[in-house]
Amino acid sequence: MFGRFYSRFGSKFANSSRQASFSASPVSGGARLAAVAGVLGGAAAVYAGTQAAEASFGYAEDCLPPPTFPWGHDKLWKGYDHAAIRRGHKVYQTIGAACHSMKFVYYRQLVNVAYTEKEMKEIAAEHEDYDAEPNDEGDVLKRPGALTDIMWKPYKNDKEARATNNGALPPDLSLIVKARVGGENYVFSLLTGYRDAPHGIILAENMYYNIYFPGCQIAMPPPLGEGAVDYDDGTPNTVSQMSKDVTEYLAWSSAMELDERHRMGVKTLTLLVFMTGTFFYWKKTLWSTVKTRKFFSKLAGW
């Protein structure tokens, strides 16, 4: 049915449309071509403008991936550098604690890791704004920090944190090494990756240029400077050294059980190697009589 309809009327419609197209004046065809060219040119201009805007404001994907550094605790037979953890905690306490919280770390967890119990009690007591138990009248007073408290938080809530930092929310650093692709390498690179913006890059308001941060623009100003923290053990307090130490501390806070895991792994592998030789010798001895046994039959023909 549809085939007969097309054979009767479709050919006439095609011929009439073909005649109409050939009878159109060359001016109308040129106008159509000009319109198409205008649309394409406008699209190209919009795309070029977008690319230029992205490049001028630093939104283009022109930032660097963090390099890989030889962290000692990555090796199975090694653990954390506890002297670096102590120095890194001092860097965090002196500089980072003013903006970033560590709400999953308790003061007591640093005892016998980086400090003695007495030293840690003194550090916890430096903050005197922890809530005490309600008194007989129901009032909640303030008290110094104790070993059983969570590390001091600079802000009461996220809204206060955003209001203080121009709308940016400083991330909690308790698990920051696990929460970022690249782990320790990314954190160290970020702390040492601040540069002056290249020519042609226009930074947004209250933004800083960092070659390792996605988009290259970060709201956090450079946190470390030469000599910002004085080390008790005489270690040079350069930016790279402080970045390495605080990264070691943040790696520990993200995986506190790593030392014990590595210790247990070395013990397990040593036991497996020893037991492999023992069981191999036992297996050879057990099956030696079976493999050397000979069978005889009294049946005819054997």
pLDDT of 136 reads 82
What tens digit of pLDDT does each residue of 85-109 get? 999 999 999 999 999 999 999 999 9
Structure tokens at 4: 């007969």
What are 120-157's pLDDT values in tens digits?
A: 999 999 999 898 888 888 888 899 999 999 999 999 99
Whether 45 shows a pLDDT value over 80: the answer reads no
* C-beta of residue 229 within 8 angstroms of C-beta of residue 94: yes
Q: Residue 13 — φ and ψ, nearest 5°?
A: -65, -40
Which residue ranges form the domains of the chain, and what is each CATH number?
Answer: 53-105+168-267 (1.10.760.10)
Q: Using 50, 70 and 90 to split pLDDT, how confident is the model at 298?
A: low
Average pLDDT of the chain to the nearest whole number: 82
Query: Are the beta carbons of 106 and 130 closer than 8 angstroms?
Result: no
279-293 pLDDT, tens digit per residue, is 998 888 888 888 887
pTM assigned to the model:
0.73
CA distances from 255 to 56, 57, 280 (A): 40, 37, 37
Q: Work out the average pLDDT over 163-179.
A: 93
List beta partners, residue 217: 209
Query: What integer is the mean pLDDT of 232-243?
Result: 94
Query: Who has greater pLDDT, 18 or 189?
Result: 189
